[in-house]
Amino acid sequence: MSSALPAEKTTARALAAALRQGLSEGRWLPGAALRQADLAAEYGVSRIPVREALSLLQAEGLVVIEPNRGAFVASHTAAELEEIFDLRALLETETLRLALPRHNPASLRKLEAIQRELDFATEPADWLRLDREFHDALYAPSARPRNLDLIAGLRRSVERFYAARLSPDARRVGWNDEHQHLIEAVRRNDAAAATALLHQHLRETRRLALAALQAA
């Protein structure tokens, strides 16, 4: 089945975005080969943008390119996953602390609107997309673009490890409840409660990611 990109979007960056989404949704398992010829045929492009897209993903830590062997989906050890989640907790709680006093009625309405969609999302891919949007909106008022870029990169590097474990009767329900509590803490401008809730939220996500890694 072809996944050809629109003609105006057959750039390396557009292809990298498509591959990134597939990786985050668990389309390719850690260690799986990403063959240039297969990807070029699937997306209707030459090998040049494929090679450039894979290099972009390598720079983000999502892909490993080995000389004379090709590109492979990056994997992590349990220790590496724990380190990434420790970094996420440090960055995300600090960025939330900076964002908190800058939230306003409009930004709160945006958080609530995203959460309403999340409450009714049934497909893991939709839930992951909306969860990204929720956290982006949660941190956006911090006005710290480098923090936000680092947070996005760290999330992408581990997202696929827990994507496969999302289902309507699994941890998603707890996450949605935690989001509601986060919104309330933001509304009260309660930095202590908000950062504690976020830390717990990330700890549960790490637990799922480690369980997925061990089950692989």
Domains and CATH numbers, the chain: 7-73 (1.10.10.10), 78-215 (1.20.120.530)
- Judged by DSSP in three states, 33 sits in strand
- Give the per-residue pLDDT at 164: 59
- Give the per-residue pLDDT at 183: 97
Query: What's phi and psi for 204, nearest 5 deg?
Result: -70, -35
Q: What's the pLDDT tens digit per position in 160-201?
A: 777 655 555 556 677 888 999 999 999 999 999 999 999 999
Residue among 31, 105, 38 nearest 62 (CA): 31
Q: What count of other Cβ atoms lies within 10 Å of the Cβ of residue 132? A: 16
Pairwise CA distance, residues 124 & 121, whole Å: 8
pLDDT band at 7 (very low <50, low <70, confident <90, very high): very low
Q: What's the pLDDT tens digit per position in 95-124?
A: 999 999 999 999 999 999 999 998 888 887
Are the C-beta atoms of 108 and 124 separated by less than 8 Å? no
Are the C-beta atoms of 158 and 209 separated by less than 8 Å? yes
Pairwise CA distance, residues 41 & 197, whole Å: 45
Which residues have a Cβ under 8 Å from the Cβ of 158 and sit 6 or more positions away? 76, 81, 84, 85, 88, 209
- Arithmetic mean of pLDDT, 209-216: 77
In the numeric block, which tokens belong to residue 31? 């260690």
How would DSSP label each residue in 51-83?
Answer: HHHHHHHHHTTSEEEETTTEEEE----HHHHHH
- Give the per-residue pLDDT at 30: 81
Q: What's the pLDDT tens digit per position in 142-166?
A: 999 999 999 998 998 888 777 655 5
Are the C-beta atoms of 79 and 185 separated by less than 8 Å? no
State yes or no: pLDDT of 2 exceeds 70: no
For residues 7 and 110, which has the higher predicted lDDT (pLDDT)?
110
Residue among 45, 38, 58 nearest 14 (CA): 45
**The overall pTM is greater than 0.75:** yes
- Give the per-residue pLDDT at 83: 95
Packed helices 47-59 and 12-24: angle between N→C axes, nearest 10 degrees: 60
- Give the per-residue pLDDT at 87: 96
Which residues have a Cβ under 8 Å from the Cβ of 172 and sit 6 or more positions away? 127, 166
State yes or no: pLDDT of 9 exceeds 70: no
